[in-house]
Amino acid sequence: MNLSIGKWFEALIDWFLANLGWFFDGTAWLTSQIVGGVEYALVALHPLVIVAVLAAVAAVMTRSLPVTLFSTVAFLLIISMNLWLETLSSLAIVVVSVAAALLIGVPLGIWAALSSSVSTFVRPVLDLMQAMPVFVYLIPAVFFFGVGTVPGIAATIVFSIPPAVRLTELGIRQLDSELLEAAEAFGAKKGLTLRDVQLPLAFPSIMVGVNQVIMLALSMVVVAGMVGAGGLGGVVVQGVAQLDTARGFEGGLAVVILAVYLDRVTGGASSLAGWLRKAKRLRTERTAPAPAAGAPGINADAAVVH
């Protein structure tokens, strides 16, 4: 028996194109406008201004002088290699792809954490998505959106969703059940418990998921360059196609610099959030009104047993 699974897949693609072509055309147009807007906003500013902003973000997020100096020198190196516009193009693609992946992955991870049936259904789908070779994602993307930036973004979004779902679910599920019981004992409803207890405590795990999503999105930059996505991926692909070792190495080095920068910044965001919560708690304790002098348990004289 010969199962022509490939033919079934081809028929499914043809059905989508015939019945939902308007949807893919609209999505492609909207995505192009968003990416173009982000890229235009980045290109409109002077390169040194953007370098200063990126260094300031690194300083605030990581509170580390070496990381800040590395960011400054590394981006100046990219400018000296004449890859600044390509870097901004790749950064715009990564920003849009990561934002879309998180908008899908984080809510889905929350839903899976709160519902065992959803988790049971989602888990094998995520396993399949993570086991799929990266080039396979480009096949339907090219069929649906043609060649260019949009299919690269679509493939990047699908490829980078699983870590956001898994680590969001893990962060919520591994919380101490006694904390949830204490919140319920004080009369907090499920929505309030999720917002004020579960999500803040699961934030470090969620940020690890964000970090992994960014790394996967950057790993797709070069692959997406094969379908005309441009940016640094296009530089690397062009270097390979033309056997231009120097240009290919410079493009790869720029990708590494961008990856290291985003990794350090997102890693620092988790610790920064914890530091801000601690500072807020200490500030609240300082500004809290002093208890009344005759309050039970405070006045030492009142505690003396006669």
Per-residue pLDDT tens over the stretch 276-294: 566 566 666 666 565 555 4
- Asked whether residue 29 is domain-assigned, the answer is yes
Q: What is the mean pLDDT of residues 177-195?
A: 71
Assigned domain for 54 exists: no
The whole domain housing 95 covers 19-49+86-253
Instruction: Quote the CA–CA distance of 43 and 66 in Å, as a whole number.
Output: 27
In a domain, 133, yes or no: yes
Query: In the block, which residue shows the tokens 């304790």?
Result: 285
pLDDT recorded at residue 98: 92
Residue 202 lies in a domain: yes
Domain count, the chain: 1
Q: What's residue 289's pLDDT?
A: 60
pLDDT of residue 276: 55
Measured CA to CA, the distance from residue 31 to residue 148 in angstroms comes to 11
Is residue 141 scored above 60 in pLDDT? yes
The predicted model scores a pTM of: 0.81
Query: 234, 225 in Cβ contact below 8 A?
Result: yes
- Whether 302 is in a domain gets the answer no
What's 216's domain CATH number?
Answer: 1.10.3720.10
37: helix, coil or strand? helix
In a domain, 38, yes or no: yes
Tokens of 229: 């996505």
Greater confidence (5 vs 157) lies with 157
Q: Decide if 63 is inside a domain.
A: no
Between 75 and 129, name the one with better pLDDT. Answer: 75
CA distance 170 to 156: 23
Give the residue among 162, 256, 174 at the shortest CA–CA distance from 210.
Answer: 162
Q: Does residue 74 lie within any of the structural domains?
A: no
Residue 120's alpha-carbon distances to 43, 115, 125, in angstroms, are: 45, 9, 9
